[in-house]
Amino acid sequence: MKNFITKILIFIIPFLLILIISIIEDPYKVFNTKTYFPADGNILELNASVIKTELYLQNRGRIKNYDSFIFGNSRSDAFKCESWKKFLPNESNPFHFEGMGENLFGVYKKIKFIDLQGDTIKNALIILDEEMLGNLNNIIYPPYITHYKVSEESMFVFYWQFIKIFYKPKFLISYYDFKINKKYKPYMKKIIPKFKYRNQINLDNGDFKYSLDKEIKRDSISYYNNLKRIIIRDTNKINYKVSEKEIFMHSEITKIFDKHKTNYKIILSPLYNQIPFSSKRKLILDSIYKPNNIFDFTGINEYTEKIGNYYEASHYRPIVANQILKEIYFNKK
């Protein structure tokens, strides 16, 4: 019996040690949320959705409560709270509540979460693209998973995503190699992000400032000459079917907006691929939301034609977002 227990302990102890190390090391900063900020000094790209949830909860008691929100995936980062605030009532207090790789699930759950906190949603921007509507479940992957406080799903499943990566040898080797030697190596690809500059976060409103802005400002000619050599327009349209689950989430969002009498705008992102938004899905959105609150910037237009409007094939720049804000609020003004 004693030998059996000894063998069990020999087997279990390494797993327990890795468990303890993963919690103490906490590379994604989910166990000690006070170390989230500033978020630009970490080795890994942190989970934006989780960061924004913690920042929102921490700031609610520190500053005037937020009443206006920007929702979407990382493409929504082109829209800045300070720029948007110019088109809102003077007393408005906006917060950027997005997530990297966010889908409709994350957007819906965040809107519901704000409502459950008893907070007001006076104004809202929802930045959509069809890719966001293709997957309607919580994305169970460390950089993308929605905070369990928002998703209303298992806390243990949430934390396990950030623990189990420590049981992968390649992650461990890459992480500690970079941490000790401060040098990026090709084998670290897809584990350690390669940054020339670090992204920064505004701790008052949740806006992200992309590091690529510094590169463009430093030498825009070289940046875009290099980009032209590697960027392509991916015109292969993926047909994401409209599901009952998608319709349900859109409908629940409108119910919450109606409850709060929210002044909302839904923006269909101007993506570099120039693929138009599905006409069938657009009709469904028009039937659920107020049609005059939906603004379609997909396809071929003045924004998608210019490579200088983009960081790369996936993300457009604030100069585009600022023009869009002027366009959608201009008539009202």
Q: Total structural domains in the chain?
A: 1
pLDDT 10s digits, 15-71: 788 788 888 888 888 887 665 555 556 778 889 899 999 999 989 877 678 999 999
Average pLDDT, integer, range 180-199: 82
Confidence at residue 57, expressed as pLDDT on a 0 to 100 scale: 92
Confidence of residue 333 (pLDDT cuts 50, 70, 90): very low
d(CA 293, CA 265): 5
d(CA 329, CA 332): 5
Q: Is the pLDDT of residue 179 over 60?
A: yes
Question: What's the token pair of residue 170?
Answer: 């390649």
Q: Strand order in 294-296's β-sheet? A: 94-96, 68-72, 123-128, 263-268, 294-296
Question: What's the token pair of residue 245?
Answer: 């689950």
Q: Is the pLDDT of residue 115 over 90?
A: yes
Q: What is the mean pLDDT of the chain?
A: 89
| Residue 309 structural domain | 2-330
Confidence at residue 198, expressed as pLDDT on a 0 to 100 scale: 67
* Tally of CA atoms within 13 A in the half-sphere of 166 that contains its CB: 20
Mode of pairing for the β-strands spanning 263-268 and 294-296: parallel
Q: Is the pLDDT of residue 11 over 80?
A: no
Confidence at residue 332, expressed as pLDDT on a 0 to 100 scale: 47
Confidence at residue 197, expressed as pLDDT on a 0 to 100 scale: 62
Confidence at residue 1, expressed as pLDDT on a 0 to 100 scale: 61
Question: What's the token pair of residue 205?
Answer: 């409103």
Work out the burial of residue 332: count CB atoms within 10 Å of its CB; fewer than 13 is exposed, 13-18 middle, 19 or more buried: exposed
Confidence at residue 20, expressed as pLDDT on a 0 to 100 scale: 86
**Residue 151, C-beta contacts closer than 8 angstroms, at least 6 positions apart:** 105, 109, 138, 145, 158
Stretch among 9-23, 151-165, 214-228, 283-297 having the lowest mean pLDDT: 9-23
Confidence of residue 9 (pLDDT cuts 50, 70, 90): low
Stretch among 99-108, 186-195, 248-257, 267-276 having the lowest mean pLDDT: 186-195
Confidence at residue 23, expressed as pLDDT on a 0 to 100 scale: 86
Q: Is the pLDDT of residue 290 over 80?
A: yes
In which region does residue 158 sit, left (phi positive, over 0), alpha (psi from -120 to 50) or beta (all else)?
alpha
141-180 as b/e, with b when 16 or more CB fall inside 10 Å? ebbbbbbbbbbebeeeebeebbbebbeeeebbebbebbee
Confidence of residue 2 (pLDDT cuts 50, 70, 90): low
